[in-house]
Each structure stands twice: as structure tokens, then as C-alpha cells.
Amino acid sequence: MTVATSDVEAIVFEVIEELLDTIDTDFEDELSSSALLVADVGFSSIDFVQMIVSIEEKLGAKIGFQDMLMSDGKYVEDLSVGQVVDFTVNRLNNPQLAVATPEAVATPEPAAATGPTITEQDVSVFTTLIKPRQAAGAPPAAGKNPRAVFVLSPPRSGSTLLRVMLAGNPALFAPPELHVLSYASMDERRADLDGERGDQLREGAVRSLMQTRDWSAEQARDLIESYEARGESTGEFYAQLQQGLGQRLLVDKTPTYAFSVDILRQAETFFDNPLYIHLVRHPCGMIRSYEESDLTRMMPLMMKSSAFSSSAVAEMIWLMSNRNIMQFSQQIPAERWCAVSYENIVNDPQGQMGRLCDFMDVDYHEDMIHPYSDNNARMTDGVDNSSKMSGDLKFHLHSQIDPAAATRWRQFCSEAMLGEPTLDLLSTIDTEVARIRV
Ligand code: A3P
């Protein structure tokens, strides 16, 4: 049956009008099809994601809005309300269009390099600027917590996609970013994760408790606040969370853990023989993704490093995080360590999930390769609002595992833009850790 434009128009208008009540904008006109979402209505990128998630919720269908927002591999600057309606109608009437075409998956030609490359000296300056945390919590009073799994990667490495794929396995509990291991105590965590961005980063722990106990957000927040008020150790908080899991393995993916080896070591203090998944991605893909995201604006530590361009900051985060992870891996027995690349995951989801299941000693489950099914069980909705899921909001723009996302950077960047230290580590990772030069 063909979907009528007027029905879709009603939904899109309703969603945008609901959003207008929640965002900071001067727009007071009557909404029309010709209104531009950024220039007229005052949308930011996060509002686009919220709009998309709400439209899909109301329609009960994934639309694949990534294609609407992209033109020649770049994000479009603006869109009219009418364009959103037309795209949605077209996709509903032609669902086969949402499936990646062979052209979209083809590897684009590399682009030329620009600007100076980073040096080892830059990395030293950068590392002192961000002053990585030195978490040193005591082991839990009742002894080490049961085994947990940590996904270790720099930000923008496809970690949200991997986390949601793992969450599809009933033997695993893989919530949104917890941001717990970086701190010795829950009050220290509360003090550090402050402001609007901090509030969002604390939501993963709230969402996890809601899921394990079948609690409301209010109940989960109350429990966390009581831990904060008592200055309880973060190890005790993990113990509380794991009590609600039964036999399921907790999977904590929080990219900022890799900012310091001390943070990573805390996992060994808190847990009984924890497992580690090192997720790697090509540095150019990570840098391009970082530049397109709002991370520079949102993360205070990134602002302190304004002496460097955003691509240099991204490159140094890639380098520093992967160096820390690889240094930490030296202390871990081989049977507790597994490396996987984003490039391999998107090109061979089933094979890579099978490998990870063997490593974690859990049965493979078919739902792992369907990350867009069952939002609630996978905790891809936020606590109060879908767009507030902590982690990558771009996850919502895709409607399936998209192999083209792994090579899109080649249209804009090349390895020639990378500094010597990065190229050295890239070669080591690609040959000794996991293939990322696909
Ligand atoms: P790009 O910005 O290059 O597109 P993280 O979760 O670690 O922040 O990683 C974000 C990256 O994962 C983004 O890369 C995002 O597009 C990619 N990603 C999210 N969902 C995806 C999917 N379904 N298929 C392929 N890539 C996905």
C-alpha cells in the first residue's frame, strides 16, 4: 500500500513542533514545508538526531536517514521540512532504497594531504595538557567482583555499534557508556561529571540500573545519589550493578578509560580475571569522525588543547589511547585479551561476533548482527529521551550495519596527513593487532 504524503507530513510537523518546545530557539513563525531546519528553525545536529529518532518511533520503521543527511560523503548544511517529508515518503514507499548499494560500498579515491603533521613533541605537550586521571580505588570489601568485559578504544571507533551488537546476546549485559572505572569513588565521579555534558555522561549508569531492576529513572538516580552521598567506592557500585545480572557478563564500553593506563589497571583491582576487547579503527576514519562530531565542543579536556587543530587533537587521542591500551595489554595474559577492528566488524559482522563469543565463552546469538532490533533490550533509547543515549548518536542515523562507513574518510583524508608516530603505530596495529587498512 502506498503511503500518503499528507500522513507523513502530519507526523513530521508534529515531531518538529514537539521539539520546538524543548530547544533554545527564536523561531516563532508557523511551521511550513519551506522552513529550513538550521537557518530558520534553529536546529543543532543533536536536534536532527532527536527528530529522526522520534519520526522513526512514530512510524514504527527505520528509514535510513543517514542518506538524507549526506551528500557526496559530507553532511548537508541544512534541509527544509518539506525535504524531510519527501525523503520519508520515498523511503516508506521504496524500502529497498535503504539497503546499501554496491556503489555506496565501493572504496572512494584517496584525497590529498594538507597541513603539518604531528610530532612526538606535540604528543608530549598534549599529554600534559589533558592530565589523565589516576584512578586508584580499593578492591571491593567482599572481594573482587565477578568477571566483566571491557571494550577499550579511542572515541569514534565504532564502539557504540559494537556495544549494541554485543547487547543482542542474552548472555551479555552491554549498557550505554558507564563512566565509572575512571574514578575511585562515586562522589569523585559526581564532581567530575558536572554540567549538561556531565549529566549526559552519568545517564548510562542510570539506564543500566533501570534495566537490571526494572526501575524508573527516579529510583535508579536515587540509588546512585545515595552512593555519591556516602562517597562509596566505584568498585562497590559495580558490585551492586552486577548483582542484578544473574549469569550475564557485564560489558563496559567507555572510550575515555583508554586515556590513562591507571584507569585500565583499576579493572584488574575490581574484577576477577576481567576480559578485554581492544577495538581498533583506522586513524583517518577516527579523525574524520571526530571532526564531524560535537566532541571538541562538548569535552572540556578538548578545549584546553586549543593550541592544536581539531584533526591534530583527534590524531593524538587515537595515538595516546591505543598506546595506553597496548601498554596495558602487556600485563594481561593472552587468553584474556582479544583485538577486533571496526573495519572487519562492518564487513564481516557474523564472523567477528563469532570470534568474540568464542573469546568470551558464550554462545553466538543471531540477534548480534541485527543491531537495530529491540531498542529497549539494547538500551539504545536514552533515560528520558531517545537522543540522550550516551555514546554515538550517529548510530541512530544508520538503519543497518553499513560497510561504506569504514572507508568514507578516503574522500577527504589520506595517510599522508598523519604524523610519523601515528604511522608507526598504524603499521604495528594493522600487522600485529587487527586489519584496519581495508
Ligand atoms: P563515522 O563518524 O565515521 O560515520 P563511536 O561509537 O566509537 O563514537 O564510533 C562512531 C562511528 O561508528 C561513526 O563513524 C558512526 O557512523 C559509526 N557507526 C555507528 N553505527 C554504525 C552502523 N550501523 N554501521 C556502520 N558504522 C556505524
pTM of the model: 0.87
Give the residue ranges of the chain where pLDDT is below 70: 98-115, 135, 294-306, 384-391
Q: What's the pLDDT at 25?
A: 83
- Domain 5-99, second-level architecture: Orthogonal Bundle (1.10)
Residue 438's pLDDT is 86
75 — phi, psi (to 5°)? -75, 140
Nearest protein CA to atom 1 of ligand 1, as residue: 289
Sorted by where each begins, the domain ranges of the chain are 5-99, 125-390+415-432
Candidate of 48, 161, 368, 436 to mutate for ligand 1, largest count of ligand atoms within 8 Å of Cβ: 161
The two counts, helices (H) then strands (E), for the chain are 21, 7
- Residue 308's pLDDT is what? 85
Q: Which residues line ligand 1 at a C-beta cut-off of 6 Å?
A: 155-161, 285, 288-289, 292, 346, 391-392, 394-395, 398, 401-402, 405
Q: What is the pLDDT of residue 278?
A: 98
DSSP at 417: G
CA distance 308 to 295: 15
419 CB neighbour count, 10 Å cutoff: 19
- Contact between 189 and 137 under an 8 Å Cβ cutoff? The reply is no
Output the pLDDT for position 26.
86
Probe target for ligand 1 pocket from 156, 397, 412, with the most ligand atoms within 8 Å of CB: 156
Cα(7) to centroid of ligand 1, in Å? 31
Q: Give the position, in ligand 1's atom list, of the atom nearest the Cα of 160.
A: 6
Please give the distance, rounded to the nearest whole angstrom, from the Cα atom of residue 391 to the centre of ligand 1.
10
Closest listed residue to residue 49, CA positions, set 383, 397, 379, 405: 397
Between the CA of 233 and the centroid of ligand 1 the distance, in Å, is 33
Cβ atoms 287, 318 nearer than 8 A: yes
pLDDT of residue 199: 87
Q: How far is CA 44 from CA 41, 64, 232, 302, in A?
A: 10, 19, 38, 20
125-390+415-432 CATH choice from 3.30.450.20, 3.40.50.300, 3.40.50.920, 3.40.30.10: 3.40.50.300
**From atom 11 of ligand 1, which residue's Cα is the shortest distance away?**
158
